[in-house]
Amino acid sequence: MQTAPFHFPNQKSFYKGKVRDVYNIDDKYLVMVVSDRISAFDVVLPRPIPYKGQVLNQIASSFLAKTKDIVPNWVIDVPDANVTIGKACEPFKVEMVIRGYLAGSAWRAYKSGVREICGVQLADGLKENQKLATPIITPTTKASVGHDEEISKEEIIKQGIVSKEDYEQLENYTHQIFQRGTEIAAQRGLILVDTKYEFGKIGDEIYLIDEIHTPDSSRYFYADGYEERLQNNEPQKQLSKEFVREWLIANDFMGKEGQTVPEMTDEIVENISNRYIELYELILGEKFVKKDTSNVEQNILMALERLGG
């Protein structure tokens, strides 16, 4: 049984994720508290990252506002730096991963000889971090516990995980939101490399849910110097959680049985925190203001009262 840090009127359930604490209020609203916890390889690391929750929550709320003309989203209120309150949707059991460049896990698979990812064929002769001719969607199943698994569009429809009509709408929304995110990133001197979106439904209407375009759900490169690094086969300068994964891999940790998380020194923790803040300031074009989050519970209660929750 998971113990909830807070308890709110009409609270029906509580879910503690790797990073988020989610409260169900009367099956009408969800209260999402974004913690400073950090996970990699499906493992929550032993030390929190200061201000990470605020960074994620505020970037997500900004991008959700900037894409609501494309698809409605779940957000109703952001009553605290780390908190979003929104509509309780029935989530689709897939995550829509979209890639504009060959990087991360897709590159690792390609390098090992794989030429088909989630039913999408890739040409021979591609380089790490190379821009793809068109963005590709490589969905994953949304696992309640453990690892999400890659799956093709055909299998999703064949297994009845999502109907053909809904899935094609999810694809359409995914491409449009990614294009919007790409345009905004370009204005800030960044490249949106890949990202993931989650969707849900209320009745017949599809909503964009959870976070979008944050460093936990997305990978960004700096546009300046991208081509030169690509031609020289050099690593790209990037802002994403990939640098955390790379640090773990370099210290012999990939979440496998028997492996131990390397020591997270104060310096490591501060460096990760600064990288998150740097992305916030770059992608939103505004100074990050460290907020006091000591009144989280009171701010949520007041917001729920306004909603009649």
Segment 264-276 mean pLDDT: 93
**pLDDT at res. 183:** 97
**pLDDT at res. 4:** 80
Second CATH level (architecture) for the domain 91-240: 2-Layer Sandwich (3.30)
Q: With bands split at pLDDT 50, 70 and 90, how would you rate the model's confidence at 72?
A: very high
- Which pTM was predicted? 0.90
**77-112 per-position pLDDT tens digit:** 999 999 999 999 999 999 999 999 999 999 999 999
The strand pairing partners of 195, in sequence order, are 98, 218
Q: Where in the chain is the domain with CATH 3.30.470.20?
A: 91-240
**138-191 per-position pLDDT tens digit:** 999 986 555 678 999 999 999 999 999 999 999 999 999 999 999 999 999 999
**184-214 per-position pLDDT tens digit:** 999 999 999 999 999 999 999 999 999 999 9
Segment 254-260 mean pLDDT: 93
Segment 232-242 mean pLDDT: 87
- 130, amino acid identity: Q
**pLDDT at res. 147:** 61
* φ, ψ for residue 238, nearest 5 deg: -135, 155
**pLDDT at res. 145:** 54
| Domain 11-89+269-307 CATH class label | alpha beta
CA dihedral 231, 237, 243, 246 (to 10 degrees): 20
Q: With bands split at pLDDT 50, 70 and 90, how would you rate the model's confidence at 71?
A: very high
Q: Where in the chain is the domain with CATH 3.30.200.20?
A: 11-89+269-307
249 and 151 in contact (C-beta within 8 Å)?
Answer: no
Q: What average pLDDT does the chain have?
A: 93
Weakest-pLDDT range from 2-6, 113-117, 175-179, 256-260: 2-6
Residue 143 neighbours by CB under 8 Å, 6+ apart: 149
Taking alpha carbons only, the member of 198, 18, 166, 167 closest to residue 95 is 198
